[in-house]
Amino acid sequence: HTPWLPSPEFVGKSGAGMYGDFTMMVDAEIGRILAALDKSGLAEDTLVIFTSDNGPTWYEADVQRLGHASAGGWRGMKSDAWEGGHRLPFIVRWPGRVKAGTVSEQTICFTDLLATFAEICGARLPNDAGPDSFSFLPVLEGAQPADKPIRPPIVMQAGSAASMMMIRSGDWKLINGLGSGGFTKPSFIKPKPGEPAVQLYNLRTDPAETTNLAAQHPDKVKELLSAMQATVERGRSR
């Protein structure tokens, strides 16, 4: 997050400006933390999570100027309904419980951290706590089948357009409006006559969200809109 203030030894090292220099510094500092855990003998019992709070605020001019696409190829940026706004790295080190080098395609949400930590501690969440939290400890431990979702579909809201919401269910993602819903212009587009008023993407076949499939799959649109509305009306997903 801003301000980007790399220490002197990292200034100018990345070739991607202060942002890149600061990223290099963070990487080095995390390495020091992991080394300290190893040296102290605490690594086996320490869960380390490296992630981010949202996508980057990174405009096309930044890509052209620095030759670096901070969103990693995902469409959009921070606050957008597109993947670049909220799809994040989530890297875990826990030698005593998580096998090194494993990769999971399970869809999880930050809200799931509460239930996960509770299960790790042997606690049960009361009904009025973590209303959208589902433990993904079985995913970390390699016990969750890859084809069995660890949680129900995720419903989220974009950052700038209060009415722009999205739902992710398996490979499918629906956004209940046109435009980014966030910082990328235009944030909102009024649909033309006869044009679908929503966006539907298959993230398995089109991870960059280039082709709106709403017109081709009206039944899927209806299904996801219904699931989204049901979650909104309940006010919770757990």
pLDDT in tens, 19-41: 889 999 999 999 999 999 999 99
Q: Which of 214, 173, 213, 182 is nearest to 197 (CA)?
A: 214
pLDDT in tens, 89-135: 999 999 989 999 999 999 999 999 999 999 999 999 999 999 999 99
User: CA 212, 152, 218: angle at the middle one, nearest 5?
Assistant: 30
Q: Where are the domains of the chain?
A: 8-140, 154-231
Task: Give Cα 61 distance to the centre of its chain.
Answer: 24
Contact present, 109 and 154 (Cβ < 8 Å) = yes
Structure tokens at 213: 């499939």
DSSP result, 152-186: S-EEEE-SS-TT-EEEEETTEEEESSBS-SSSSSP
Domain with residues 154-231, CATH architecture: 2-Layer Sandwich (3.30)
pTM to 2 decimals?
0.91
